[in-house]
């Protein structure tokens, strides 16, 4: 199973991981168009925490026994059989937010554009390398098998 590994010593808290995650999940996939013209504004699937002197992005780690999956009432949260990653199926989600409450690291969050929907890192499904990893200037984020 692939996971994004964070090296806190290299993270400088620039926020580019959040920006490019949002762009990757935008309609246009274009930095300027995504933030200037799209409505609703694109949302990052990760959240940068800055606890000085340490900064690091919080994103889904696809836990070995994910609480979000076992707590999900509709089956919207599930483990992909091929990749082992925790996937959120928006179509099946009933908006109960149980997954948000049980995630031990806060990686499943309420979508700011829709309070009855959740968002979480999906490793930029369809891309070989997640946008946060690709655009991290200090290489603080790496994609690893785990």
C-alpha span between 27 and 24 (Å, rounded): 8
List alpha helices for 10-144, DSSP H: 16-24, 31-36, 67-71, 98-102, 131-134
pTM of the model: 0.90
CATH architecture of the domain with residue range 63-120: 2-Layer Sandwich (3.30)
Domain ranges of the chain: 1-59+126-139, 63-120
The beta-carbon contacts of 75-83 under 8 Å, at least 24 apart in sequence, are 77/108, 83/1, 83/2
Could you list the pLDDT tens digit for every one of the 146 residues in the chain? 889 999 999 999 999 999 999 999 999 999 999 999 999 999 999 999 988 788 889 999 989 899 999 999 999 999 998 888 899 999 999 999 999 999 999 999 999 999 989 999 999 988 999 999 999 999 999 999 86
The tokens describing 64, both together, are 């070995």
What does the pLDDT look like over 43-54, one tens digit per residue? 999 999 988 788
């Amino acid at each position: 199973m692939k996971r994004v590994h964070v090296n806190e010593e290299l993270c400088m808290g620039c926020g580019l991981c959040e920006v490019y995650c949002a762009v990757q999940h935008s309609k246009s996939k274009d930095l300027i168009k995504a933030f200037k013209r799209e409505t609703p504004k694109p949302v990052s699937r990760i959240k940068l925490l800055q606890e000085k002197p340490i900064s690091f992005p919080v994103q889904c780690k696809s836990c070995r026994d994910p609480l979000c999956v076992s707590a999900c009432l509709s089956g919207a949260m599930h483990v992909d059989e091929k990749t082992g990653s925790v996937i959120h199926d928006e179509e099946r989600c009933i908006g109960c937010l149980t997954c948000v409450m049980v995630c031990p690291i806060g990686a499943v969050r309420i979508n700011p554009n829709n309070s009855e929907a959740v968002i979480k890192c999906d490793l930029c499904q369809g891309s070989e390398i997640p946008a946060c990893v690709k655009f991290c200037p200090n290489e603080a984020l790496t994609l690893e098998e785990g």
